[in-house]
Structure 1
């Protein structure tokens, strides 16, 4: 199989590249060249947000591919231009989208037929949800039933450049009392980036098209199991101090940003952690235990000296030590 990755050097793209290489696929990555692709990946350079930025993909001698995987998050018009260019030279187009394309609030149990945000494939810079939905429309306009829309939820695992699980691991590795927002039994819904990569390549190889909620089943792990796995893998002398969500919120601590991954029960929690994923499970999605995700992420962090990369277009996450101490009463 011949794979063209639009992106392919960080997080999701890198995991897909490594999985494709492990399968013996021929992999080409098209990107701006800010990061090197994994060894064994051919590189094409270009900035798709600039005029003439797709030149490296043009021309009869450039190549043809069985599968294109596009991880783009910006202006939908960039997806439109790439998909149009490749429609006659690629068999399948996978767009890594997001469950954010559903109109908010998305009730628990919502499947792929739920209401969507309004968006345009011709738009320039727009908000994240509109950008992802516009990208979906652009992929479908060029590839029709050959377009696979992978609506990912929370993605964790090695190479994470948003900082959510890396922050918890580095915080717990410091040891001492740790603010653990409750309830401990709070069910999570996420996907390991390697499981995402495995499913995407399988599905594209089988010719699947249309939208799929690509995330594990609700409750595949609890928040307590996630943090306890962090304690176990780091071997730290850390004490998880479980705190009622009402007390955390009353202290002014921001869910999701100051305490990554965590959302208190309510409307946003249902939207993020209650998606129906029966379609993806029926199409072969397999999800590894949370302990494996945590262990692999910790090993990757240790290889980097404990300092994870961070996307410049995303704000930093995590609770400042002095804020945590104040909430815990240990200041």
Structure 2
């Protein structure tokens, strides 16, 4: 296999590249050369995917059996559309890493492939679908942009040559958002640890290496398709995650579970201040059964936690990203909420 990975230097893109190289594939990467270093063994091409000349230069290095696009998260659909058009003559199929946020029902409803997707034209610019001022709901702008980017890929490659993968939460070594690293570091601090909501709440984060392996798997298949990419529904819980953080780090911290209502009354920002905590019904009810049917396997959460801790202990540092600053609750606020909960 000869593949092109757009991105390829950090987190998911790097996991894709490293796995492909282990399998003996020829890998070309395309990125700006600003975030992370190129993986030894690739053919690195540096350029801006929004620049037509750079795209033409990239296409001249083809052909490829597949393109795996891991870096379009902040790009408007029209940029993805232009890139797909430039690469279509020199690649057999396109694997696009999207998100569960494209669903109109996210995060309030259980989701499965075939459910309604947000609006988003394939040629939309970065302003399309922006949330109105003061909007407190889910980030519909992000979902609409990614939905438009999906349509851009399918517009160019057709459904028979497009693989659209929609992960939920991705964790594992190299994580740049800082969700699991925050919980691990919080476990190390010990003491009374604010544990959010119902300990029996099921969660379904997926390991970055499993997403990478699945993307490489579909890149070898023909026919195209759309798949959600998550761990099985109900396999693990929030209690499992936090206890694993304590056990893995050897912490003597004590988990103190505080009900959702108290957290909401205390103004805790869902999803970020206590990472992975969210009260919406559908957030951890994403059906990925179609992906399992074509080869997705998900390692136990215990392995993800242990390997992420080992990465941090070895001096691993994520590529800096602005989203990381939003994660984690201030110790003073945590202590105040625990004190309030104790009085109730």
Q: TM-score range by the shorter chain?
A: over 0.9
Matches within 5 A, 1:175-254: 175-254=190-269
Q: Could you tell me whether the CA contact under 8 Å between 1:117 and 1:133 is conserved in 2?
A: yes
Cα separation, 2, equivalents of 1:245 and 1:33: 43
* Cα distance change, pair 124–192 in 1 and its aligned pair in 2 (3 A): same
Partner of 2:137: none
Partner of 2:147: 133
Partner of 2:49: 48
Cα separation, 1, equivalents of 2:174 and 2:107: 29
Cα separation, 2, equivalents of 1:172 and 1:302: 14
Q: CA deviation at 1:314?
A: 6.0
Cα separation, 2, equivalents of 1:198 and 1:134: 25
Partner of 2:333: 323
* Cα distance change, pair 131–279 in 1 and its aligned pair in 2 (3 A): same
Of residues 138, 149, 167 in structure 1, which corresponds to 2:164? 149
Q: Deviations over 1:57-107 (max 9, x none)?
A: 143xx1211110012112111211111111111111000001111113566
In structure 1, stretches of 5+ residues that fail to align are none
Cα separation, 1, equivalents of 2:235 and 2:82: 38
Partner of 2:33: 33
SS at structure 1 position matched to 2:281: helix
Q: Could you tell me whether the CA contact under 8 Å between 1:11 and 1:161 is conserved in 2?
A: yes
User: TM-score, normalised to structure 2's length?
Assistant: 0.89
Partner of 2:293: 282
Question: Quick check: 321-330 or 36-45, which moved more?
Answer: 321-330
SS at structure 2 position matched to 1:129: helix
In structure 2, stretches of 5+ residues that fail to align are 128-140
Question: Quick check: 50-59 or 76-85, which moved more?
Answer: 50-59
Q: CA deviation at 1:210?
A: 2.0
Of residues 281, 290, 305 in structure 2, which corresponds to 1:269? 281
Q: Could you tell me whether the CA contact under 8 Å between 1:92 and 1:143 is conserved in 2?
A: yes
Q: Could you tell me whether the CA contact under 8 Å between 2:62 and 2:90 is conserved in 1?
A: yes
Cα separation, 1, equivalents of 2:222 and 2:254: 48
SS at structure 1 position matched to 2:12: helix
In the alignment, does 2:26 pair up with 1:12? Answer: no
Cα separation, 2, equivalents of 1:149 and 1:234: 36
Partner of 1:85: 86
SS at structure 2 position matched to 1:54: helix
Cα separation, 2, equivalents of 1:8 and 1:274: 30
Partner of 1:69: 68
Partner of 2:312: 301
Q: Could you tell me whether the CA contact under 8 Å between 1:229 and 1:294 is conserved in 2?
A: yes
Q: Could you tell me whether the CA contact under 8 Å between 1:45 and 1:56 is conserved in 2?
A: no
Cα separation, 1, equivalents of 2:47 and 2:92: 22
User: TM-score, normalised to structure 1's length?
Assistant: 0.93
Q: Deviations over 1:220-274 (max 9, x none)?
A: 210000011111111122111111121222211112010111112xxx331x211
Moved over 6 A (4+): none
Q: CA deviation at 1:17?
A: 0.8
Cα separation, 1, equivalents of 2:323 and 2:200: 32
Cα separation, 2, equivalents of 1:108 and 1:249: 20
Between the two proteins, the alignment pairs up a number of residues equal to 323
Q: Could you tell me whether the CA contact under 8 Å between 2:178 and 2:324 is conserved in 1?
A: no
SS at structure 1 position matched to 2:96: strand
Q: Could you tell me whether the CA contact under 8 Å between 1:76 and 1:138 is conserved in 2?
A: yes
